[in-house]
Amino acid sequence: MKNSIKIHRAIQNMTQAQLADKAKVSRQTINAMELGKYVPSTVLSLRLSGIFKISVNELFELEEQDWVK
């Protein structure tokens, strides 16, 4: 699953640590999501979209291999 967390974080001039604090997760979790190594839960996805004030669909995008499973 692709995401635009890093882009939206940069737009808001926010560090990984600041976003992690707002989202109530570790900085390492934010880093792993930005690198595509961690797929967040529904709750965390909704929390992040609320922080950025955008829809979950704007923040996350399923890739073809996500449909094949």
Identify the burial level of 61 via C-beta atoms within 10 angstroms of its C-beta, where 0-12 means exposed, 13-18 middle and 19 or more buried.
exposed
pLDDT at residue number 66: 79
pLDDT at 65 over 90: no
pLDDT at 69 over 90: no
For residue 22, give every residue at least 6 positions away whose Cβ sits within 8 Å of its Cβ, in sequence order, or none. 51
pLDDT band with cut points at 50, 70 and 90 for residue 68: confident
pTM above 0.85, yes or no: yes
Please report, for the chain, the start and end positions of each structural domain, with discontinuous segments joined by +: 2-68
Give domain 2-68's CATH superfamily: lambda repressor-like DNA-binding domains (1.10.260.40)
Summarised one tens digit per residue, pLDDT across range 23-58 is: 999 999 999 999 999 999 999 999 999 999 999 999
